[in-house]
Chain A
Amino acid sequence: MSTETIDLKTRLITDFYAREAVLNGEASSEYHQKKREGLARFEKLGFPTIRHEEWKYSNVKDLISVSYDFNAESSIGLAELEDLKVPAQEANILYFVNGRYNAGLSTIISPVEKITISSLAEAYKNDPARVSSYFNELTKDADDAFTALNTAFTQDGVFIHIPDNQQVEHPIILRFVSDAREQNVGSQPRNIISVGKNSHVKLAEAFRTLGEQRSFTNVVTEIHVAEEANVQYYKVQNESDNAYHVGTTQVRMLDRSHFYAGTVTLNGKFTRNNLNIVLDGERCDAHMYGLYFPDGSQHVDNHTVADHQKPNSESNELYKGILRDKSKGVFNGKIFVRPDAQKTNAFQSCKNIVLSPDATMNTKPQLEIYADDVKCSHGTTTGQIDEEALFYMRSRGISRPEAMSLLMFAFCADVVSQIKIDSVRDYLENVITQKLASK
């Protein structure tokens, strides 16, 4: 087999114009103009290299060295999805296969007359003005090629609009499945979530792959959190050993709102997660939890931003990882405290267990503080499993592997326990237990 090098950037740009050519009147819409801006930005930025400060430890060379079918059809049915499933719970479940909504597989049980939960494509058909006004609002200034690329190619994803004072009883679970059984597939879901004043919702994005071919997911999620809203947002990645994933979640929080994020990377060849939270309100609190388990030659990179723009808010972050084999981990946590953001509390911690001498973890806390009355702390640790603890447990009759998995499970517990959707937490506990026992 020849190793063909392709120019993915040029291909994508050509692709864009080909799509545009058949749009007719739609090409002049506000929606499409935003996509054009995305393309222009992508064209200018190009795919990052490791000379780019934000991509220093994460090389996308491999990711962009092949082509992907971004329009791959899939005949996937519930039977094939059975083993990819997160256990059932009373929940809204929306399936996206190769980036496109699959109504046949999905179930929406929350009252749609009160809250909007639909595919982005359908939402746009029904109310182009509303969708256009939200689209790319939070990410328009992002200096990130992948975000711009996603904007240019936005077709589908989820659109959730929750009016004020709604308690959304049932969690919303978004399942993104890449069907890579036949070919290399690409998808670029765009999710737009707007949560009204004093409304409460729990949602999860779960990413899985079917098949052995390569998959490339480039996802962007924009979340608007209005005053006093409470949002629990989880991202669970359990993709194949041949899955490449780049994702950005961009959040804007207003006064007295609460936002919880849990990002768990169970498996995947290459993962880059950007979680950017702008605390654009007073007395709001943002919580970021993360967990990752790379093995083999996997790569997991979490970049987070807590951007404090107003006084009296709090951010609180805990990321943990267990690294094996030749895997690589990256954590970059930025905290900005803008001049107005007096009395900010910001905490950040990243703890890692590195189980192999060939595995590496790069951690970089980055604090930029422009206000004087603030409390900030950060800390990172990278270590091995505690041998004293191991010996203590073994001296009580617990075998070494069992003791290791107990210790590692305990290490993960304070992140896992933060996941407040029961079915998702149970799923994680199961997968993590198996993962920790299998080595």
Chain B
Amino acid sequence: MLSINDLRASIEGKEILKGINLEVKPGEVHAIMGPNGSGKSTLASVLAGREEYEVTGGNVVFDGKDILELAPEERAAEGIFLAFQYPVEIPGVTTINFLKTAVNEIRKYRGEVPLDAAQFLKMVREKAKLVSMNDSLLKRALNEGFSGGEKKRNEIFQMAVLEPKLAILDETDSGLDIDALRIVAEGVNSLRSPERATIVVTHYQRLLDYIVPDYVHVLYKGRIVKSGPKELAFELEEKGYDWIKAEVEAVG
């Protein structure tokens, strides 16, 4: 489904991603962990199409298409969704209006007829319930004045509405209380299916108790330096990253 080959990207002349390789098959959950500043959000942003990053090498194939050629909105319409580490506040645009525009723009891209107001509202209500998203939040300006947890929940709510094929969650767990964490995880799990895949970027094993990954990767200095089964996450939680850093330095 997603195949990342020797992906290199830089910002302001500084190379951040230094040859990433990753293969994600339908139905899989991949966790990406790694120390601060190692390039996890950069990878997520490059996949979503943030234009500030310059891709200097490699390619990314999603469902047979080279997505690096596509605009962010086209990638979204192809089925890629990024839950932001820091969701953006957009004053004056209500969450509900924003999502309606998004849903119908994507439908247009796919050659489907737009949803009318009633159909859309019905769908949104169901999804809001799924992530216990309060109705009043939907009517407020997008993320404006939302608490940290509300913003993260809003990301998962949007994901539930857009039903992406590939969801990339960038530290969606940070800043969530235990109940919110469970709700978010349930939201993610309810979308799991043999056709969909998820990449979870996280610092904590905690989330992986709920969203059990098939693979865990460690990103360090712009490379995936270690991959393993879900048990790798326990090991990292216990031992930190020093041993991995030492391994990398030893190899040179």
A binding-site residues for B, Cβ under 8 Å: 386-389, 391-400, 402-403, 406-407, 409-411, 413-414
Contact = CB atoms under 8 A, between A and B. Distances in A.
What 10 A-B pairs are tightest by C-beta distance, nearest first? A410-B92, A397-B76, A394-B72, A397-B106, A392-B88, A396-B102, A394-B73, A410-B93, A397-B102, A413-B92
Nearest to B92: A410
10 contacts: A389-B90, A394-B71, A394-B73, A395-B75, A395-B76, A395-B84, A397-B77, A397-B102, A398-B101, A406-B101
A407 B93 contact: yes
Nearest to A392: B88
A406 B72 contact: no
Contacts of A399: 71, 73, 105
Interface string B42-74: 000000111110000000000000000001110
A398 B102 contact: yes
B84 A392 contact: yes
Contact of B98 (A386, A396, A400, A414): A396
Interface in B87-107: 87-93, 97-99, 101-103, 105-106
Given A395-B84, A396-B98, A407-B93, 17 more contacts: A386-B88, A391-B50, A391-B72, A392-B84, A394-B72, A395-B72, A395-B81, A396-B73, A398-B105, A399-B105, A402-B101, A403-B73, A406-B93, A406-B98, A407-B90, A410-B91, A410-B93
A394 B99 CA distance: 11
A400 B101 CA distance: 12
A411 B50 CA distance: 23
Q: Looking at chain A's contact residues, is the secondary structure mostly helix, strand, loop, or mixed?
A: helix
Contacts, number: 77
A406 B141 CA distance: 12
Interface residues of B, number: 33
A124 to B, nearest CB: 46
Contacts of A410: 90-93, 141
A418 to B, nearest CB: 14
Given A400-B73, A406-B93, A406-B101, A394 B88 contact: no
Contacts of A392: 84, 87-88, 90
Contacts of A391: 50-51, 72, 88
Nearest to B109: A397
B48 A397 contact: no
B198 interface: no
B202 interface: no
B158 interface: yes
A397 B50 contact: no
A390 to B, nearest CB: 9
A391 B87 CA distance: 11
Contact of A393 (B71, B82, B98, B106): B98
Nearest to A409: B92
Contacts of B103: 397
A399 B75 CA distance: 11
Interface in B131-168: 141, 158, 162
Contacts of B90: 389, 392-393, 407, 410
A402 B105 CA distance: 9
Contacts of B105: 397-399, 402
A59 to B, nearest CB: 34
A383 to B, nearest CB: 13
B45 to A, nearest CB: 8
Contacts of B76: 394-397
B72 to A, nearest CB: 4
B149 to A, nearest CB: 18
A406 B162 CA distance: 19
Contacts of B84: 392, 395
